[in-house]
Amino acid sequence: MKRFLAVAVALLAAGCGQTSSVTIPDQTSPSIQPTVDHLTGTVPQLGLDIKTFVVDRSNGALTLTFVSAGPPDGLPMQLGLGVPSGTACSISQQGQVRPSAVPVLSTTGVSAGTYCVAIGDLGAATGPVTYQIDVSHY
C-alpha cells in the first residue's frame, strides 16, 4: 500500500505545472430517425377510407399529421387511429380535424404492431375527397 501511495504521489508531482487534454468519446446513443408513412387515398362522399401501417419498435412515439384534403382544400374530416379488425378499423382515438402542418394526434408508449387510420366525410364533401396523412413513428 505504501508503494502505491508513493507511485501516486510521484505521478501527481510529475504532472504539476503541466496541462494535458483527454479526449472522451461521445457517449450519447445514436439518434433514431422516425419512420414516416405517407398515406394517401380517396374518400367517397359520405364515405370512409382505411389505411394500415406497421410500427416496428415498441414503446415509441407516434404522431399523425393530416397534410391535405380536398376538393375543396382544407375540408374538415373525421379521423381515427386504431387497430385493424377484419376489414374495419377498431378506433381508439378520433376527432374532427382540418389539414394542418401541425400533428393532429401524438401519443407515446406505442407497441410494435399493425395499426390503421380511418378517414371519413363529415357531410361537407360535394364529391370524392383525396387526402394525405403522414404517420411518424419510432
Q: Please state, as a whole number, how many other Cβ atoms lie within 10 Å of the Cβ of residue 67.
A: 14
Contacts of 88 (CB under 8 A, 6+ apart): 50
Instruction: Find residue 90's DSSP bridge partners.
Output: 83
Q: Has residue 79 been placed in a domain?
A: yes
Whether residue 98 lies inside any domain: the answer is yes
Tell me whether residue 10 is in a domain: no
* Domain contains 131: yes
**Are 80 and 89 spatial neighbours (Cβ–Cβ below 8 Å)?**
yes
pLDDT per residue over 6-57, tens digit each? 434 444 444 555 544 555 555 555 578 899 999 999 999 999 999 999 999 9
| Domain span holding position 61 | 34-137
Which CATH number belongs to the domain containing residue 104 in this structure?
Answer: 2.60.120.380
Domain annotation covers residue 9? no
Q: How many CB atoms lie within 10 A of CB 100?
A: 12
Judged against a pLDDT cut of 90, whether residue 131 lies above it is answered with: yes
Instruction: State the chain's mean pLDDT as an integer.
Output: 85
Position with higher pLDDT, 15 vs 102: 102
The total number of structural domains in the chain stands at: 1
- Dihedral of the CA atoms 127, 42, 120, 82 (nearest 10)? 180
Helix (H, G, I), strand (E, B) or coil at 65: strand
Establish if 49 belongs to a structural domain.
Answer: yes
* pTM reported for the whole predicted model: 0.76
In this prediction, residue 135 has a pLDDT band, given cuts at 50, 70 and 90, of very high
* Chain position carrying cell 419498435: 57
132: in domain: yes
Query: Which has more confidence, 5 or 114?
Result: 114
Residue 102, domain member (yes or no): yes
